Amino acid sequence: MAAITSCLVCQASGLELLMHVRDAGIPHEASGHNFAYASTLLLACQQCGSGILQKYSHDCWNYWEDEDWDMYWWYVLDLTSMQTIRQLLETCPAAQDPSCNCTLHLILRGSETIYGGIQHANAPSSHADFARLTIVQEGDHSKLQLVQKES
Ligand SMILES: [Zn+2]
Ligand SMILES: [Zn+2]
């Protein structure tokens, strides 16, 4: 897995890795790898401030006409959501630990149940398709929600 290195919104390079959100399985290049690996990262653009949630899924169970080994999806978080995220980040004891169960880790892992309707990419590209997410308040809880495209 590689993390995206330039911003999907403003194309600037220099993304900051804010959080390792989720990890499942063992990476392909590591010993003990068993076909599948998934990982979710949160990055932030130092130029425009947008947040970028990267979801990665690897599956090398390879057979005839199987789908791609490596699949990436990206979600962009608006500046208001990033304000909330940066506040919550202060309360996370281990931002680079995907097994952390703090409020922000749990909110961002909620992205697993969101389907953005975007085409996956096979490698990071700053011109990739992406969907938009925002953080909404629901009672005492915050959660991620897909921003519907305007038609
Ligand atoms: Zn940017
Ligand atoms: Zn945490």
Task: Domain ranges for the chain, please list them.
Answer: 15-147
Q: By the 8 A CB rule, do 40 and 21 touch? A: yes
Whole-number Å distance, alpha carbon 125 to ligand 1 midpoint, is 13
Measured CA to CA in angstroms, residue 49 lies from 29, 45, 129 at distances of 32, 5, 19
pLDDT tens figures, 97-111: 999 999 999 999 999
pLDDT tens figures, 111-148: 988 888 888 999 998 889 999 999 999 888 899 999 98
User: What pLDDT, on a 0 to 100 scale, did the predictor assign at position 109?
Assistant: 96
Nearby residues for ligand 1 (ion, Cβ within 5 Å): 7, 9-10, 12, 45, 47-48, 50
Please name the residue that has the structure tokens 């425009």.
Answer: 48
Tell me the ligand closest to 21's alpha carbon. 2
Q: How confident is the model at residue 60 (pLDDT cuts 50, 70, 90)?
A: confident
Q: How confident is the model at residue 63 (pLDDT cuts 50, 70, 90)?
A: low
Spatial separation of the C-alpha atoms in residues 40 and 106, rounded to whole Å: 12
Whole-number Å distance, alpha carbon 105 to ligand 2 midpoint, is 5
Whole-number Å distance, alpha carbon 50 to ligand 1 midpoint, is 6
User: What pLDDT, on a 0 to 100 scale, did the predictor assign at position 115?
Assistant: 84
Whole-number Å distance, alpha carbon 40 to ligand 2 midpoint, is 13
Tell me the ligand closest to 20's alpha carbon. 2
Q: How confident is the model at residue 68 (pLDDT cuts 50, 70, 90)?
A: confident
Read off the tokens for 8.
């999907």
- Tell me the average pLDDT of the chain: 92
Chain CA centroid to CA 142, Å: 17
What phi, psi does 76 have (nearest 5°)? -105, 135
Whole-number Å distance, alpha carbon 58 to ligand 1 midpoint, is 26
Whole-number Å distance, alpha carbon 18 to ligand 2 midpoint, is 11
